[in-house]
Amino acid sequence: MTNTENATGIIPSIDIALRPVNGKHIPAITSLQVAEIFGKKHSHVLRDIKGVLKQASVFFGESNFGLSEYELKNNLGFLVKHPMYIITKNGFIMLTMGYTGEKAMQFKEAYINRFNEMEKQLANRVPDDPTSLGLPDFRNPVEAAKAWALAIEEKQEVEGRLAIAEPKAAVYDEVVAPNVLTLTDFCRRLEGVNIMAVKRSLCMANVFYVAPDGGYRVYARYRDTHFAEKFDKDYGSRTFHVLPEGQKLLTRLYHDGKLIMKKGFTAPSRDKGVSHAA
């Protein structure tokens, strides 16, 4: 990160609002605001955020940086969605730690002070109207009884879902998972395929895509039907398992010449065949 100062040297209006981050509405700003405050291109702010997310723990990243979108009109007048992040106070401090310079320091101090003010206001606030916070009106006995009954019903529904899901998860972990190959292991069976470029090949085939954090993800239409994603929180890495339909898809791409090959290799004809068995 380079030294940065707002071009005007004037602190912009401090607009901190309650925004959703990891399922909670807390005081936050957006990456667009950070770009405006410090006179940076938004793309550079996104790059800096990705750098923070790569080095910080998964918990810190999810708790302080919420991926969102905003819309801008393109040259043809159509609205196009672009990525942005919603950032908490701690995320703001971590992100701007390397933004130096006298004016940058003033901007950071002003925003952190405003964050602290909002947190104090929220901590001391007892709303006259609980519904303004999306809560039931517990001052009304009928509404309070309804809210209590609904909470019990939701609790029972969640417990029922867990009771159904647990044996399924156990069966998958003990029976299915050991027999499912990882993407790397399966592609080793495809002679000549460049293992290091398989994910890039799947991106070109619109099966995978590159997420804002720079990692690869499976498009929803192929997730859990062709490929299963497993995220390891301890290492912050994602493993892809190839399901039977995914094995068929990879084999088809292989024979169609759509998987990047090692130097000196070419994809075989369709009649050669590839074994799917473990």
- What pLDDT score does 48 carry? 94
Give me the sign of the Cα torsion angle 105, 108, 111, 114: negative
**Is 0.75 topped by the overall pTM?**
no
pLDDT under 70: residue ranges of the chain: 1-13, 124-140, 143-179, 233-236, 267, 269-278
Could you tell me which residues come within 8 angstroms of residue 166 by beta carbon, excluding any fewer than 6 positions away?
A: none
- Structural domain boundaries in the chain: 17-125, 133-176, 180-272
Please report, as a single letter, which amino acid is at residue 254.
Answer: Y
Question: Model confidence over 150-209: pLDDT tens digits?
Answer: 666 666 666 665 565 555 555 445 444 555 788 988 888 888 898 888 999 999 999 998
Residue 68 CB neighbour total at 10 angstroms: 16
